[in-house]
Structure 1
């Protein structure tokens, strides 16, 4: 039985975990794939340490950048695992996000590449359903596909 507050997605990427980590840990690289094209991503803060900030903005066309993620990293193990949440911001400051979630990202070495997995936890089944209906599989799947295209 699946957890009603959890959404998951995985994909094999034909690149080593070090390459996947570099795509996550360098702002200019993250901007290339983190949001489904043609929406543009801007990385404002990417402090990969517990308590470090994670802030991205998005823009469609020539409009202004709008909020996307304003969160906090809970764990950062190079080339293996990243965990962030939107219920805290940099320095462990409590937040009230439009969608509360905690994302657990793993980069597992497998068959000469990386099994990239995202496990996204929500505070309630209703929030999980809301995120799913917003297009979780399509949106996160597209972003992971862009990551694979960048690295393969």
Structure 2
């Protein structure tokens, strides 16, 4: 068994405090979670360990994903969220793709936000890269940053 972590990650500094970034992450996911012109619809987010996480994405030409369904593994309000699609609610196993880690770190000039996708193996990581991880998660990150900074300006 290999100890290698098959991880992809994007990070940015957001000119907004962690509490605003947390509120945007929890309350406005439909506005930033997937690259436009796609849109996301939150079906359920029971933000506690074992709680259901389900989001569906819709494309501009009628395409649909999923829903992408999993469970929360860790929720530290304002600091970190960890989810996985290895299970659906009720700890029912399903074919896994990744574990997502969302970190919010306070800094003097705002929040360091890092979104990480950990894959079960090198093949899953490679498949995610080929699907356009950098472009897709990079656009998601840019949308999240802009929404956080706009929210901070009106707060």
TM-score normalised by structure 2 residue count:
0.88
Q: Following TM superposition, by how much is the alpha carbon of 1:64 offset from its aligned partner in structure 2, in angstroms?
A: 6.1
The aligned residue for residue 134 of structure 1 is: 131
| Alignment map for 1:115-126 (pairs within 5 Å) | 115-126=112-123
Instruction: Give the Cα separation in 1 of the matches to 2:41 and 2:122.
Output: 30
Stretch of structure 1 that moved more, 82-91 or 60-69: 60-69
| Cα root mean square deviation, aligned | 1.5
Instruction: Give the Cα separation in 2 of the matches to 1:74 and 1:49.
Output: 7
Q: Following TM superposition, by how much is the alpha carbon of 1:65 offset from its aligned partner in structure 2, in angstroms?
A: 4.1
Gaps of 5+ in 1: none
Instruction: Give the Cα separation in 1 of the matches to 2:58 and 2:21.
Output: 24
Gaps of 5+ in 2: 150-155
| Alignment map for 1:78-89 (pairs within 5 Å) | 78-89=77-88
Q: Following TM superposition, by how much is the alpha carbon of 1:61 offset from its aligned partner in structure 2, in angstroms?
A: 2.3
Contact 1:10–1:116, Cα closer than 8 Å, also in 2: yes
The aligned residue for residue 31 of structure 1 is: 30
Contact 1:4–1:128, Cα closer than 8 Å, also in 2: no
Instruction: Give the Cα separation in 2 of the matches to 1:65 and 1:133.
Output: 19
Q: Say which SS state the counterpart of residue 68 (structure 2) adopts.
A: strand
Contact 2:18–2:106, Cα closer than 8 Å, also in 1: yes
